[in-house]
Structure 1
Amino acid sequence: MREIKILEEPIELYKILKFENMVGSGGEAKYVISEGQVIVNGKIETRKRKKIFSGDIVEFGENKIRIQVK
């Protein structure tokens, strides 16, 4: 699991996928979230603008990341 440092919280879920290059674009990020392909803290998340905070774990495909505030 990788740890990702963000400058401020919360950050929207789709932005994490986009900024960490887990998807090719913001549109793709929103699509995979709406299709139920993203897991946040062990539960499927379908809200594109779900607020992500320090300590949250985001999973998509082979990627698993923990969010930390700098």
Structure 2
Amino acid sequence: MNEKIAINTEYIQLGQFLKLANIMESGGMVKLFLSENSVYVNGEAENRRGKKLYPGDQVEIEDVGTFVVSTEKEA
């Protein structure tokens, strides 16, 4: 099942998204996390913490789960 994570902006960067989804506690941990774990955005491998995510984008993190970016209205 996909967990919806609501944002109230036009987009969110992947690093911020990982903190919002309670996967990471701090931004400093994000870079290391992305270098050591498989993260896919819309089915494509991604390791840039600055990658912009928009509502409707799907983020899959191996051994963690699948998340969908949504607006606050959709959540």
Same fold (TM over 0.5): yes
Give the gaps of 5 or more residues in structure 2. none
| 1:13-40, Cα deviation, whole Å (9 max, x unpaired) | 0111012111232122222223452111
Mean Cα deviation higher: 47-56 or 29-38:
29-38
| Matched residues, number | 70
Match for residue 66 of structure 2 among 60, 64, 67: 64
Taking structure 1 as the reference length, the TM-score comes to 0.84
The CA RMSD measured in Å over matched residues stands at 1.5
Identity of aligned residues (%): 37
Runs of 4+ more than 4 Å apart:
none
Unaligned stretches of 5+ in structure 1?
none
Task: Give me the TM-score of the superposition, normalised by structure 2.
Answer: 0.80
Larger Rg: 2
Kindly provide the amino acid, as one letter, of the partner of residue 40 in structure 1.
V
